[in-house]
Amino acid sequence: MADVFISYARTDKARVAPLVAAIEAQGWTVWWDPDIAAGQEFDRQISAALKAAAAVVVVWTPNSVESRWVRGEARDAADRGVLIPVRFEGAELPIDVRAIHTTDLDGWGDDPKCPQVLELLRALGATISRRSGSKPPVVANPAPAAAPTTSGSAGRIGICVLPFSNMSGDPEQEYFSDGITEDVITDLTKVSALFVVSRNMAFALKGKNIDASQVTRQFNVSHVLEGSVRKSGGRVRITAQLIEGGTGGQVWAERYDRELSDIFALQDEISRAIVKALRLKLLPEEKKAIEQRGTTNLDAYNLYLMARQHYATGNEGDIRRNEGIIRLCRRATEIDPGYARAWAMMALAQTLVRYWNGGHGNDGLAAAERALALDTNLAEAHAVRARILSEGRHHDEASAEIDVALRLDPESYEVNRSAAYVRFRQQRLQDAIHHFEKALSLMETDVGSANMLMSCYTAIGDGEAAHRAAEITLARAQKTLTQDPSNGAAMGFCCYALALLGQPESAKSWMSRALLVDPDNTNMRYNFACALTSQLKDADGAIELLGLLFEKISIGLLNHAKADPDLDPLRDDPRFQAMIAAAEARLAAAAGDGSASPGS
């Protein structure tokens, strides 16, 4: 296989050819334009060449950023630490690779000795030698080595905050160490002199044995912060060290033993210590921004972190999960009525109980409005308001609200999950895919987004992407089940993934066991029906499962079913049509005047 894999859009072939020539002139082999027929064989050869390459050059242009193939190849290369991107025409980079240094080649004039190309060749030489163990070649007329930086971050120091280790001896305390890490990342992003690797990229390294030098090469930053958190009783111990990636030297290190009530001051202290160690100066507005937190009450903060962890890892479709989140957030807001994030999280759980679990009471709008009154720029509050508007079939208003949320915080997990469901309900599958993919990258415990991607990719005919989503779904769902063997939603996700991966007997075996373990889980039963319809082509089996489900289906799940492409093969079946009509009549009667009658 070749040393270098070139990923690009075919419409840019003429632009890429001189670049290939410059790389080959160094003696490296390049895989970029094979003369093979399209189809399955073509896909297999691309996959094999991509995995075998020591380095992957992605050529970003306005054409290639729209290509799902190029974006997928870039993600794969980034995950392996071999991505070396270049850019033309100031193309807007995909969000999940923006933290990786990108060389701009506009104006290089096909000159293999221009500084930009020499920079690219040096990076290729270092990456190839690292993979092969050989000495990197000497690039002719090398330009002075550039300081570690990232695209769009000239003059700023790059830093990656690795997930702090949970040293409490209790896996259930993981939410707290993750919360501390996220807060430190958030604080440092407020410092204009710093470039901070995004949360999703940093957390992709969680649990992996990787040293600082590898991290700095992968993200092209100069420093790495790592640490640990031990929470016991009323005390917390946090250790942290800042490492210079080039030398592996320790720039700063400290151990803090404090009362748990000092956690907010401690986070501020860590952020200021890092800034001082890097010989930077905080601007007055940056210092003020770091000190501003959603709450200053430790108990409220702890309850919010627990609620968010339940949302990210719990049993989807289980009303007990959502009611637990409501209780945690309600208590947090009783302790601190001004805690906007807790109000927004409570609003989301109330929305799920009302529309997806078929519960009664608050639909979440009041809590969302309270959150926005406290903080009009809270993206998560706008996102849950968009979900509520979508459930009420106010699609234009929902779109406007989710656009506001995305503009305020495009890196929020909750915002991207909500955006994905709003777009899915509007049957804008490409947009839904984008946000489900983003949510998947932002939360390593998210199984539901991977499950939805299987459905979306199948609907648009992208078998390779659906297969990738199925593998991710299966791995994450199985990990969830090792911690919670009775998680019905995870069982449903496993069944769909196995069916898509061509293992029908295993899928049916999962289905039989799961229906014995958790027969009342509507989310699980619904996913089984989708697997039977879309993947196993068993319409009769799907109708049988849906019959019991539709007798008590919630308005949200019914609306979802009416938009779900997995169930398209059943649309003309009189039995399915009768189920839809009966469910609509039942829900309209329950609403009294019919105003809550579902629709799409």
pLDDT per residue as tens digits for the range 186-222:
888 888 788 888 776 788 788 777 788 888 887 788 8
Q: What is the mean pLDDT of residues 357-381?
A: 88
Q: What is the 3-state secondary structure (H, E, C) of 50-79?
A: HHHCCEEEEEECCCHHHCHHHHHHHHHHHH
Tell me the C-alpha distance between 177 and 229, whole Å: 6
Query: 221 in the Ramachandran plot: left (φ > 0), alpha (ψ -120 to 50) or beta?
Result: beta
Give percent of the chain with pLDDT exceeding 70: 90
Given a cut of 90, whether residue 239 has pLDDT beyond it is yes
Binned at pLDDT 50, 70 and 90, residue 35 comes out as: very low
The enclosing H or E element of 116 equals helix 115-132
Bridge partners, 107 (sequence order)? none
Supply the pLDDT for residue 18: 87
Supply the pLDDT for residue 330: 95
The answer to whether the beta carbons of residues 418 and 449 sit under 8 Å apart is no
Strands 250-259 and 235-244 come out as antiparallel
Per the model's pLDDT, the better-predicted residue between 425 and 522 turns out to be: 425
Supply the pLDDT for residue 595: 42
Which region among 154-158, 362-366, 372-376, 486-490 has the lowest average model confidence (pLDDT)?
Answer: 154-158
Nearest to 490 by CA among 359, 313, 366: 313
Nearest to 13 by CA among 28, 27, 34: 34
Give percent of the chain with pLDDT exceeding 90: 33
Burial of 571 (0-12, 13-18, 19+ CB in 10 A): exposed
Supply the pLDDT for residue 144: 35
Q: What is the mean pLDDT of residues 557-576?
A: 92
Given a cut of 50, whether residue 383 has pLDDT beyond it is yes
Which region among 168-182, 492-506, 554-568, 582-596 has the lowest average model confidence (pLDDT)?
Answer: 582-596
Which tens digit of pLDDT belongs to each residue from 131-152? 655 544 444 443 333 333 333 3
Supply the pLDDT for residue 68: 81
Supply the pLDDT for residue 392: 84
Q: What is the mean pLDDT of residues 542-554?
A: 89
Q: What is the mean pLDDT of residues 121-129?
A: 81
The answer to whether the beta carbons of residues 7 and 120 sit under 8 Å apart is no
Q: Name the one residue in this structure whose structure tokens are 């009509």.
A: 581
Given a cut of 90, whether residue 444 has pLDDT beyond it is no
Q: Which of 122-126, 304-308, 333-337, 355-359 has the highest mean pLDDT?
A: 333-337
Supply the pLDDT for residue 393: 84
Strands 83-87 and 235-244 come out as unpaired
The answer to whether the beta carbons of residues 423 and 435 sit under 8 Å apart is yes
Tell me the C-alpha distance between 9 and 2, whole Å: 19
- Those residues whose C-beta lies under 8 Å from the C-beta of residue 171, and which sit 6 or more positions away, are 483
In DSSP notation, 323-337 reads HHHHHHHHHHHHH-T
Bridge partners, 253 (sequence order)? 241
Binned at pLDDT 50, 70 and 90, residue 40 comes out as: very low
In DSSP notation, 398-428 reads HHHHHHHHHHH-TT-HHHHHHHHHHHHHTT-
Binned at pLDDT 50, 70 and 90, residue 14 comes out as: confident
Tell me phi and psi for residue 426, to 5 degrees. -85, 0
Nearest to 213 by CA among 246, 239, 253: 246
Helix (H, G, I), strand (E, B) or coil at 30: strand
Longest dimension (CA), the chain: 80
Given a cut of 50, whether residue 394 has pLDDT beyond it is yes
Which region among 92-101, 510-519, 555-564 has the lowest average model confidence (pLDDT)?
Answer: 92-101
Mean pLDDT of all residues belonging to the chain:
83
pTM (2 decimals)? 0.66
Q: Name the one residue in this structure whose structure tokens are 């297969």.
A: 467
Domains and CATH numbers, the chain: 4-132 (3.40.50.10140), 157-293 (3.40.50.10070), 301-523 (1.25.40.10)
